[in-house]
Amino acid sequence: MLDALVFGGSGQVGAPLLERLRDAGWRVFAVSRGRHADLPGVQWLQGDLACCDGLPRTVDAIISCGPLDHFARWYAASAIEAPRVLAFGSTSVEAKRDSADPHERDLAQRLREGERRVFDAAVARHAQATLLRPTLVYGAGRDLTLTRIAGLARQWGRFVLPSDARGLRQPVHVDDLAAAALAALAAGAAQGRAYDLPGGETLPYREMVARTLAALRVAEALLDVDAHVGLARLFVVNDRMPRAKRAARTILTRQSNWNSF
């Protein structure tokens, strides 16, 4: 039986990955900040990358489904022995490298540094490392784009979309990411490599939003407005709803950065 140590096992990618590992006969040590009952083949450890008691000394694979920069620091300092390490990053490492937004450039830099640390630490330990870079993740109801769009549409009965939102997106489902992770663990050729993982279909941003709203059967659905008018109107309407306002700002900022995925 193979053993895996999984960080972020209760997250949107980690949860389906745990199921696939169990089905494939792995024994899993899953780390989460919250308490979880053990399952056949899964032992839950409460903690995070800063502090977690009961970590095994040796496993066959270490897997990170959480923030890459935090995991990279932990892995570089960890003494746990594992011949395989697999971590999720993001296509933002390249897509946002030259963004006009300084926060996005900082994200790209942190992702690049995280990848470098993981690969360097793996080489020093004679381990095989693989990085997986998904695009826009969906399917678990916890992503920061489609789920927020759906939430705002339910709240307002419509969704405001700037008329020039014509960029392309390739959303990828969490189950596909879990399958890719399991396949990469078994592929020797994946050693020392990073893979972009876009979804199987390329959609114009407007089409992606329209499909989301159609699934919700929102009455007035999609409302096209001039980009600047739409932003101003959206923030005025939501001035009394800080959480909705923050969500709207996040989504519309992503819409304004058409080619970031």
Note the pLDDT tens digit of each residue in 9-19.
998 899 999 99
The answer on 221 and 120 residing in a single domain is: no
- pLDDT band for 232, please (50, 70, 90 cuts): very low
The answer on 224 and 211 residing in a single domain is: yes
CA nearest neighbour of 1 among 72, 56, 45: 56
Q: Is residue 59 part of a domain?
A: yes
Who has greater pLDDT, 87 or 250? 87
Residue 219 has pLDDT above 80, yes or no: no
The answer on 224 and 102 residing in a single domain is: no
Q: Which residue has the tokens 């307002």?
A: 156
The answer on 108 and 59 residing in a single domain is: yes
Identify the bridge partners of residue 158 per DSSP, sorted by sequence position: 221
The answer on 206 and 190 residing in a single domain is: no
pLDDT digits (tens, 9 = 90+) for 104-148: 899 999 999 999 999 999 999 999 999 999 987 877 555 556 666
Percent of the chain with pLDDT over 70: 66
The answer on 129 and 157 residing in a single domain is: no
The answer on 159 and 88 residing in a single domain is: no
Q: Is residue 60 part of a domain?
A: yes
Dihedral sign from CA coordinates of 248, 251, 254, 258: negative
Cα 199 to chain centroid, rounded: 13
Q: Is residue 177 part of a domain?
A: yes
CA distance 131 to 128: 10
Q: Is residue 124 part of a domain?
A: yes
CA distance 56 to 65: 18
Q: What angle do CA 165, 167, 173 make, to 5 degrees?
A: 110
Residue 159 has pLDDT above 80, yes or no: no
CA distance 178 to 223: 35
The answer on 178 and 241 residing in a single domain is: no
- Within the chain, residue ranges assigned H as helices are 14-23, 68-77, 92-95, 102-124, 146-156, 174-185, 205-216, 227-237, 242-256
Please count the other Cβ atoms lying within 10 Å of the Cβ belonging to residue 187.
12
Q: Are 4 and 27 in contact (CB under 8 A)?
A: yes
Can you give the pTM of this predicted structure? 0.75
CA nearest neighbour of 9 among 38, 1, 24, 25: 38
In which domain, by residue range, is 156 found? 146-168+202-256
Number of domains, the chain: 2
What CATH number did the domain enclosing 27 receive?
Answer: 3.40.50.720
Average pLDDT of the chain?
A: 80
Residue 39 has pLDDT above 50, yes or no: yes
Q: Are 42 and 30 in contact (CB under 8 A)?
A: yes
Who has greater pLDDT, 168 or 63? 63
The answer on 35 and 80 residing in a single domain is: yes
Q: Is residue 261 part of a domain?
A: no
The answer on 110 and 52 residing in a single domain is: yes
The answer on 80 and 134 residing in a single domain is: yes
Q: Is residue 243 part of a domain?
A: yes
The answer on 80 and 20 residing in a single domain is: yes
CA distance 100 to 8: 31
